[in-house]
Amino acid sequence: MSQEHVPIRVSTLRGDQKIDFDAYVKINDKFILYLRRGDSFEGGRLTRLKSKKLKKMFIIPTDEENYRNYLHRNIEMAYDKSSGKSVEARAEIIQGSQQSNSEAVMENPENEQVYGEAKSGALKFAQWLTGENEAFKHIMNIENSDQSIAHHGVTVSTLSVALAKRLGWTDEKQIQMLTLGSLLHDFEHFHSGLSITRPLEQFTPDELKTYKDHPVAGGKRVQDKKHFDQQVLNIIVQHEEYIDGKGYPQGLNEQKMDPLAVVCATANALDRMITFEGIPKPEASKKLMISAVGRYPLKYIQLLGEIMNQMKA
C-alpha cells in the first residue's frame, strides 16, 4: 500500500458532521478522491459505500489529526444528551464507533492500546444503552446490510446488555466485560474466511467442522495476549456452548460455563437468525423459543422476546 495514504474505517463515517479532510477510495492501485473536506457522508453516499461492502477509505497523512478530531467531535456529540441531535442520529455514530473498535481489535489483537480503547468504549456504550431512553431500539434498527461480523458483534453486545439489565445485573465491571466479550465473540470468523451467512443445515461437513471449531480457534488466536481479560477470552471460547452440555466445541454444561458467556450465547443465537439466516426480527424471537429451549435458560429466551417486542412500541 502506498505510504502516501492512510486507511480509515467506513464504520466511523456516520452522522451529518462535515469532514475536514479529503476521503479517497482505492480502485486497483489508484486512490480516487470520493469526498472533499467541507462535505459530509449524509444521505446516499454512505449507503453506496456500504452496498459495495467497502470497509476502508483513505486519507493523506497530513490529515490524520483532522480525522482524529472529527472522530472525537462525533463521539462526544453522540454521547451528549444536550447536543440537540436525535437519539437516532447519535445511535448511528455510537454504533459505528463500537463496530470500528471491534474491527481494530480483531485486526490488531497484539496492540494493547487498541484493546484498551475498545475496553473503555465498551463501558461507555453499556452505560449509554442502560441510561438513555430509546437507545436500544435505535441501535437494533441499524440494519447489518453487509452481514458484517463486527456489526453482528455490536448487535450481540446490545442484546446482551439489555438482557443483563432485565436480569438485574448492576456490577459495572461485569457488564463492561460482557459488552466487550460480546463485541469480540466471533473473533475467528473475522479471520477464517468461512461464509456463515446461511443456516448451519446448509453447511458441508468440512464447513461445519470449521464452524464448530471457531470458538477454540479464536481463543487460541488471542490467549497469549496478556492484555486480554480472562472473561473476554471465556466468552470467545464458550459462546457456542449449550447449558445442557450438547453445544460445542467442548460440551460444557451451564455449571461449567462463565455466566457472561451464557448471556452472550443466548443473544448470539438470536442475532444469528436475524443477521445470517435472514429471519425477520419478530419471527426470530419466536423461533428461538421453539428451537432453543434447553440450549439456553428459558428465562433468558423469554426476556429476549420481551426486549424485542419493546422495539415495536
Rounded mean pLDDT for each run of 10 residues along the chain, 313 residues in total = 75 79 93 93 76 86 93 92 90 92 95 97 97 94 90 98 97 98 97 93 96 97 96 98 96 98 98 95 92 95 94 65
The pLDDT assigned to 3 comes to 54
Asked if residues 176 and 123 have their Cβ atoms less than 8 Å apart, the reply is: yes
The pLDDT assigned to 313 comes to 56
Burial class (CB within 10 angstroms; exposed 0-12, middle 13-18, buried 19+) of 206 = exposed
Asked if residues 46 and 27 have their Cβ atoms less than 8 Å apart, the reply is: no
Domain-wise residue ranges, the chain: 1-78, 85-310
How far from chain centre, in Å, is Cα 47? Answer: 19
The pLDDT assigned to 1 comes to 40
pTM of this prediction?
0.90
- CATH 1.10.3210.10 correct for 85-310: yes
Q: What is the dihedral of CA 184, 186, 190, 195, to 10 degrees?
A: -160
How many other C-beta atoms can be found within 10 angstroms of the C-beta atom of residue 250? Answer: 14
